[in-house]
Amino acid sequence: MLDNLDGDKVKLDELDVQFIPNPRCKICRSPYVHEINQMLIEGRPYSEIIAKFKDKIPGLNKQNISNHKKHFNFVRKGIEKYYEQLEQGAEKVVDSIKALDEIIERSLRFIRVIDPTQKPRAWEVTTRSLIGAAKLKHQIVGDYDEISEEDLKEIFGQNDIEEVEE
């Protein structure tokens, strides 16, 4: 594949990038071009690349690598990786929201069965947990501005019980 050094685009399937080899480029002519390209995709520092290939590619330096990057378009791969990371981040947010939903549901179930006059501290702690989880969920979801902390306390009945002395 690298024998075609006339400037035609060569697709490197394993990297999913466009590679336009240059016959004057030390790295393009090297049998280690795939490894170097992979290291560039991974964002490895030039010094690491130079250290790894100093005995294999005589005279390799930062300028060689910088020039080689012009023959090697890994921007698309970087964009794909960016969107992958966004997707993974979104999944973490969804997981967090689901965990908060579970805390809210469990707290509500517990509050419904507990007698606040018999176990005021347990009721207070559970209610605070519930309010905190609901508040955090609304902050994450983005509609927290529509509901105040006082509204949450009223919804969950925290205003109906006196503070318990510790």
pLDDT averages per 10-residue partition of the chain, 166 residues:
37 52 86 88 90 93 89 70 85 90 93 91 91 87 64 57 43
pLDDT, position 24? 87
What is the rounded CA–CA span in Å between residue 1 and residue 136? 54
pLDDT, position 49? 95
119: left (phi over 0), alpha (psi -120 to 50) or beta: beta
Instruction: Please say whether the beta carbons of 137 and 101 come within 8 A.
Output: yes
DSSP secondary structure letters along 42-53 = TT--HHHHHHHH
The residue ranges of every structural domain in the chain are: 10-73, 87-160
pLDDT, position 51? 95
Does the predicted TM-score (pTM) go above 0.75? no
